[in-house]
């Protein structure tokens, strides 16, 4: 078939690779001049005037991202070389918190909980009891349960030092609103399913090199077309298939964000008869009902700045908004480059930057100067309890994929990749 894929982020590229592998003729339309969507490389300049490659937001992967890692290999990227694998570590600069050893699941989690520094035995036993109960229940709960409700039997220390950082990093939604069902699925796959599932995979190369650039080369070698700078403004229904930019296709896949997909369908509906327009209207209404959370990454520089490990958890509150700090000098960047991440970010960028730099001085002992900040206002959908997400199927020959489309995962790279692969039958 001739398939048009609108959007060349990780989901659209994943779909394009699978469709091409299956023998279809693929054309990718991307509105920007760069591949990768919300996970791509970004050029910047250091204080001394030298160039450095950052990312449009600090991302990590985990060992449970099986589909993403397999797809990277397929397009020629070696995950073991591109990603630094470390046991899950959510310790704070003073050493308090959870750090898992190198052991098989679930023993790594059990040992990590038993040896967590700064926790009382009452803290640990309550968490072990809760984890056993979650496993006994098949990591399932009522759809309208929040993470805070799920974890109400845990101590404030465990809630603050483990549950909140895990929840906000995985779902980008505060525990008071976050979906417990999605959170349990993440815990099941990362901590209790497969060996190494909980491992942190920190990129040693920029995000464009991790997958999008290699996928583009792979597609080009197999006859796939990528049209950059092509913003599709409308779709036209044909007797058989759809028309995009004056070209006829058997199928169209919307691999753009929820808001962009909804706007495109709104412009398409007037050209359809009422029976054909109704499914589009229903899908659009569901997509427009989604709410979004921001993520801000503050890149800062300090001569000789270095963290005790590549990633550290930070104690966060309203005045200290960053939850994690990354030492890019230990990964892919020059020494002294630190990335501080504010998930579920709120407020003006200038205020966030000021607060984060103060937080770095107070909690990390680092005097840093601002290099560049990236604030994605619609970085992820708010993964709230009881959320109804848009379906993959929109109309005959018209589908959607992306991390926001109905599925078991939150807005992660793995969720995006899996959605793209599932959208190709």
Domain 2-36+211-291+385-422 = CATH 2.40.440.10:
no
Beta strands of 314-368 (E only): which ranges?
324-327, 337-345
pLDDT of residue 104: 79
pLDDT of residue 315: 95
Report how far residue 408's alpha carbon sits from residue 404's, in angstroms, rounded to the nearest whole number: 10
pLDDT of residue 215: 98
CA distances from 423 to 31, 55, 105, 416 (A): 21, 27, 31, 11
- Angle at Cα 107 formed by Cα 104 and Cα 113, nearest 5°? 135
Over residues 87-96, the pLDDT tens digits come to 999 999 999 9
Candidates 257, 302, 411, 299; CA nearest to 55 is 299
Report how far residue 257's alpha carbon sits from residue 400's, in angstroms, rounded to the nearest whole number: 9
pLDDT of residue 62: 94
CA distances from 152 to 145, 171, 360 (A): 11, 18, 31
- Cα end-to-end span (Å), the chain: 11
Over residues 268-326, the pLDDT tens digits come to 988 888 888 999 999 999 999 999 999 999 999 999 999 999 999 999 999 999 999 99
pLDDT of residue 42: 95
All structural domains of the chain with their residue ranges: 2-36+211-291+385-422, 41-65+201-205+292-381, 88-198
Domain 41-65+201-205+292-381 = CATH 3.40.50.150:
no
Over residues 14-67, the pLDDT tens digits come to 999 999 999 999 999 999 999 999 999 999 999 999 999 999 999 999 999 999
Report how far residue 64's alpha carbon sits from residue 68's, in angstroms, rounded to the nearest whole number: 9
pLDDT of residue 275: 87
The stretches in the chain having pLDDT less than 70 are none
Burial readout 336-345 (b: 16 or more C-beta within 10 A, e: otherwise) = bbbbbbbbbb
pLDDT of residue 68: 98
């Amino acid at each position: 078939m001739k398939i048009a894929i609108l959007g060349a982020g990780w989901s659209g590229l994943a779909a394009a690779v699978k469709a091409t592998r299956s023998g279809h003729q693929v054309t990718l339309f991307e509105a920007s001049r760069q591949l990768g969507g919300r996970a791509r490389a970004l050029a910047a300049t250091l204080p001394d005037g030298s160039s450095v490659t950052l990312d449009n937001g600090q991302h990590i992967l985990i060992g449970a991202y099986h589909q993403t890692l397999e797809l990277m290999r397929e397009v020629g990227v070696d995950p073991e070389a591109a990603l630094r694998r470390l046991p899950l570590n959510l310790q704070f600069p003073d050493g308090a918190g959870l750090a898992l050893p190198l052991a098989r699941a679930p023993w790594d989690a059990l040992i990590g909980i038993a040896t967590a520094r700064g926790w009382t035995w009452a803290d640990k036993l309550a968490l072990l009891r809760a984890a056993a109960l979650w496993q006994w229940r098949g990591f399932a709960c009522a759809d309208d349960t929040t993470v805070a409700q799920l974890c109400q039997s845990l101590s404030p220390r465990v809630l603050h030092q483990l549950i909140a950082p895990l929840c906000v990093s995985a779902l980008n939604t505060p525990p008071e609103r976050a979906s417990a069902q999605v959170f349990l699925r993440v815990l099941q796959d990362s901590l209790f399913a497969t060996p190494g599932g909980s491992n942190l995979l920190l990129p040693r190369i920029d995000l464009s090199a991790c997958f999008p650039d290699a996928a583009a080369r792979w597609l080009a070698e197999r006859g796939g077309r990528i049209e950059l700078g092509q913003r599709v403004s409308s779709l036209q229904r044909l007797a058989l298939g759809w028309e995009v930019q004056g070209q006829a296709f058997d199928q169209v896949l919307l691999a753009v964000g929820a808001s962009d997909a909804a706007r495109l369908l709104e412009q398409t509906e007037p050209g359809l008869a009422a029976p054909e327009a109704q499914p589009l209207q229903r899908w659009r209404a569901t997509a427009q009902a989604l709410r979004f959370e921001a993520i801000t990454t503050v890149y800062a520089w300090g001569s000789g700045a270095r963290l005790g490990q590549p990633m550290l958890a930070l104690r966060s509150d309203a005045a200290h908004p960053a939850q994690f700090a990354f030492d890019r000098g230990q990964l892919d960047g020059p020494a002294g480059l630190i990335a501080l991440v504010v998930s579920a970010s709120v407020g003006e960028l200038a205020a966030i930057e000021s607060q984060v730099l103060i937080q770095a001085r107070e909690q990390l002992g680092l005097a840093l100067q601002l290099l560049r900040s990236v604030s994605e206002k619609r970085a992820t959908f708010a993964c709230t309890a009881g959320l109804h997400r848009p379906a993959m199927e929109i109309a005959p020959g018209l589908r959607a994929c992306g991390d926001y489309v109905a599925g078991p995962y939150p807005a992660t790279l793995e969720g995006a990749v899996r959605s793209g692969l599932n959208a190709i039958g």
